[in-house]
């Protein structure tokens, strides 16, 4: 196993790293996430060609910019082909509004040309399809012959509608699943999202990998979020609505916590267009899940969460706050060469002009994070962690700074190899 993340000033830095990975990726499976930054269309096409030819089997996507100085970056993970199973999913999910050249979902299917073919729109009753998927959990191509007991981790890149796939992946209850919402690319490639599997390019659905045991250690952090009050209990909830907390009006509790914290809030007490507020479900004293608060009604008291469901009655929860201009940063442990973990992480990171400084090589060519695969997306991630043979219901977070990681310890037999190219792009 090899992980690395390259931050580059120019495509030449990525080309150099790709050439050095050629020997490691022979007969293996490559997972990559490419953030093209301001690369030209010709450079982007060349990068994609080299990435998809780097290994016999490849899975990838175009991702968002990392919170770093350069928008151009690429993350690489090389897995043993004997313990890794690539897959492609066309299982539809809920309808999603698209922007750009097409305003509806396009036909799902492979494309063999490079980044510039147009595809006609289609008219699909996505509500009806989603209703069918509640009971139809047929596995995607590439996973149908696998025994649920042999899979420990599933990693995937998805469009904005992963509900059908996440429903199907419940067939692997002992596996931790982690998905990245691929970056929106209608103005870059003419596709809602841009996904890769081998020499094919897709604009919808999902692509991913299933990995044999041992399963990865899963962790979720909500960087930059600050608690607003003491923990409370959910006493009434329905759908994605929290109706009462501690048998009190939850919106009034939130507004009181905001005022007590001295946060400069709109005179109308509206949650819209202000700082990020969220409700977290607690395990012990840690935030286990966190959902953005979309709206609140001071008179009725209900709070609407950006989630398919609210925390259940009896759950311990807590309000959190993130100031609008809080900068997203990469945690130091992911860039520390002494870290014994080999880590794959997905971080929610909107496009921003703010960035983190890293030590560059003498000629300012860029930087490499060894033993780390880090990809960003404005859409965030979708997670379903497994513990003791059972996985939680899938949930997602697009809160800026939310970070989901999978970690593997280095094996004694060298199965998980250390990164051979630590430090800067030029050694």
Widest Cα–Cα separation across the chain: 64
Is residue 424 domain-resident?
A: no
| 20 lies in the same domain as 69 | yes
Residue 320: per-residue pLDDT: 95
Domain that holds residue 302: 226-322
| Cβ within 8 Å of residue 290, ≥6 positions away | 222, 225, 278, 279, 280, 281, 320, 397, 399, 402
Residue 237 tokens read as: 């909830």
pLDDT of residue 271: 53
pLDDT for 412 equals 44
67 or 31: which carries more pLDDT confidence? 31
pLDDT at 1: 80
Number of domains composing the chain: 2
Say yes or no: 245 and 394 in one domain: no
Look up residue 365 and give its two tokens.
Answer: 């060519």
Q: What is the rounded distance in angstroms from the CA atom of residue 350 to the CA atom of residue 183? A: 10
Inside any domain, residue 423 = no
Among 123-137, 167-181, 265-279, the range with the most confident prediction by mean pLDDT is: 167-181
- Statement to judge: residues 143 and 269 lie in one domain: no
Whether residue 7 is contained in a domain is answered as: yes
378 and 348 in contact (C-beta within 8 Å)?
yes
Give the model's pLDDT for residue 137: 66
Q: Is residue 119's pLDDT more than 80? A: no
pLDDT score of 123 more than 50: no
Cα dihedral 43, 49, 55, 60 sign:
positive
**Residue 419 counted as domain residue:** no
| 293 and 384 both lie in a single domain | no
What is the mean predicted confidence (pLDDT) over 223-248?
A: 94
- Please tell me which residue, 6 or 337, carries the higher pLDDT value: 6
* Structure tokens that stand for 250 in this block: 């939850």
- From 322, 346, 362, the end of a domain falls on 322
Q: In what order do the strands lie in the sheet with 195-197?
A: 200-202, 195-197, 57-62, 29-36, 72-79, 2-8, 366-370
Residue 365 has a pLDDT of 59
pLDDT band at 425 (very low <50, low <70, confident <90, very high): very low
Boundary (domain end) residue, out of 294, 322, 350: 322
pLDDT at 267: 46
Q: What is the mean pLDDT of residues 362-378?
A: 80
Q: Are residues 29 and 178 in the same domain?
A: yes
In-domain check, residue 416: no
Percent of the chain whose predicted confidence (pLDDT) is above 90:
56
> 41 and 141 share a domain?
yes
pLDDT of residue 351: 65
- Name the average pLDDT for the chain: 81
pLDDT at position 73 is 93
Instruction: Note whether 138 and 272 are same-domain residues.
Output: no
Final residue belonging to a domain, choices 289, 322, 355: 322
Residue 50 pLDDT > 90, yes or no? yes
Give a yes or no: residue 293 inside a domain. yes
Same-domain pairing of 302 and 216: no
Q: Across 40-44, 58-62, 350-354, 413-417, which has the greatest mean pLDDT?
A: 58-62
Residue with the larger pLDDT of the pair 419 and 346:
346
52 pLDDT higher than 80: yes
Q: Do 300 and 375 reside in the same domain of the chain?
A: no
Report the CATH number that the domain containing residue 280 is assigned in CATH.
2.40.30
Q: What is the pLDDT of residue 279?
A: 95
* Contact indicator for 317, 281 with CB cutoff of 8 Å: yes
Give domain status of residue 417, yes or no: no
Mean pLDDT of 216-245: 93
Residues 262-304: pLDDT tens digits? Answer: 887 654 445 545 578 999 999 988 899 999 998 877 667 889 9
Q: What percent of the chain has pLDDT over 70?
A: 79
27 or 339: whose pLDDT is higher? 27
Which pLDDT score is estimated for 95? 61
Contact 330, 401 (CB under 8 A): no
Whether the predicted pLDDT of 424 surpasses 80: no
Give tens-digit pLDDT for 307-329: 878 999 999 999 999 987 788 88
Residues 171 and 237 grouped into a single domain: no
**Same-domain pairing of 285 and 348:** no
Average pLDDT for residues 375-393, to the nearest whole number?
Answer: 92
> Averaging pLDDT over each range in 38-42, 265-269, 273-277, 356-360, which range is the top one?
38-42
Q: In the prediction, which pLDDT does 367 show? A: 84
Is the confidence at residue 127, as pLDDT, over 50? Answer: no
Task: With respect to residue 418, please indicate whether it lies within any of the assigned structural domains.
Answer: no
Q: Is residue 314 domain-shared with residue 188, that is, in the same domain? A: no
């Amino acid at each position: 196993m090899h992980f690395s993340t390259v931050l580059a000033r120019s495509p030449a830095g990525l080309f150099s790293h790709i050439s050095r990975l050629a020997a490691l990726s022979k007969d293996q499976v490559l997972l990559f996430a490419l953030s093209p930054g301001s690369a030209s269309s010709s450079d982007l096409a060349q990068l994609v060609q080299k990435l998809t030819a780097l290994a016999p089997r490849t899975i990838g996507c175009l991702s968002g910019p990392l919170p770093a100085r350069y928008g151009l970056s690429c993350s690489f993970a090389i897995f043993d082909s004997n313990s890794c199973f690539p897959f492609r999913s066309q299982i539809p999910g809920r309808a999603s509004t698209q922007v750009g050249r097409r305003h509806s979902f396009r036909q799902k299917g492979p494309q063999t040309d490079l980044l510039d073919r147009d595809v006609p729109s289609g008219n699909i009753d996505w509500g009806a399809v989603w209703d069918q998927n509640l009971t139809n959990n047929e596995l995607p191509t590439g996973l149908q012959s696998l025994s649920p007991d042999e899979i420990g981790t599933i990693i995937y890149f998805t469009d904005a509608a992963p509900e059908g796939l996440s429903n199907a992946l419940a067939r692997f209850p002992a596996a931790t699943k982690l998905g990245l919402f691929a970056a929106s690319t209608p103005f870059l490639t003419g596709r809602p999202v841009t996904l890769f599997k081998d020499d094919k390019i897709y604009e919808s659905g999902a692509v991913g990998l299933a990995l044999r045991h041992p399963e990865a250690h899963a962790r979720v952090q909500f960087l930059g979020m600050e608690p607003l009050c003491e923990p409370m209990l959910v006493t009434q909830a329905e759908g994605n609505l929290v109706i009462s907390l501690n048998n009190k009006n939850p919106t009034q509790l939130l507004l009181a916590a905001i005022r007590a914290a001295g946060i400069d809030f709109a005179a109308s007490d509206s949650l819209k267009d202000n700082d990020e507020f969220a409700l977290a479900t607690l395990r012990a004293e840690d935030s286990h899940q966190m959902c953005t608060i979309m709206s609140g009604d001071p008179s009725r008291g209900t709070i609407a969460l950006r989630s398919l469901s609210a925390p259940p009655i009896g759950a311990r929860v807590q309000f959190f706050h993130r100031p609008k201009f809080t900068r997203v940063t990469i945690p130091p442990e992911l860039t520390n060469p002494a870290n014994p973990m080999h880590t794959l992480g997905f971080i929610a990171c909107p496009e921003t002009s703010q960035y983190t400084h890293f030590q560059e090589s003498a000629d300012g060519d860029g930087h490499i994070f060894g033993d780390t695969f880090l990809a960003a997306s404005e859409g965030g991630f979708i997670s379903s962690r497994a513990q003791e043979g059972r996985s939680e219901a899938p949930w997602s977070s697009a809160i800026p700074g939310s970070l989901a990681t999978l970690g593997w310890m280095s094996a004694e037999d060298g199965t998980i190899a250390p990164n051979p190219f630590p430090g800067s792009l030029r050694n």
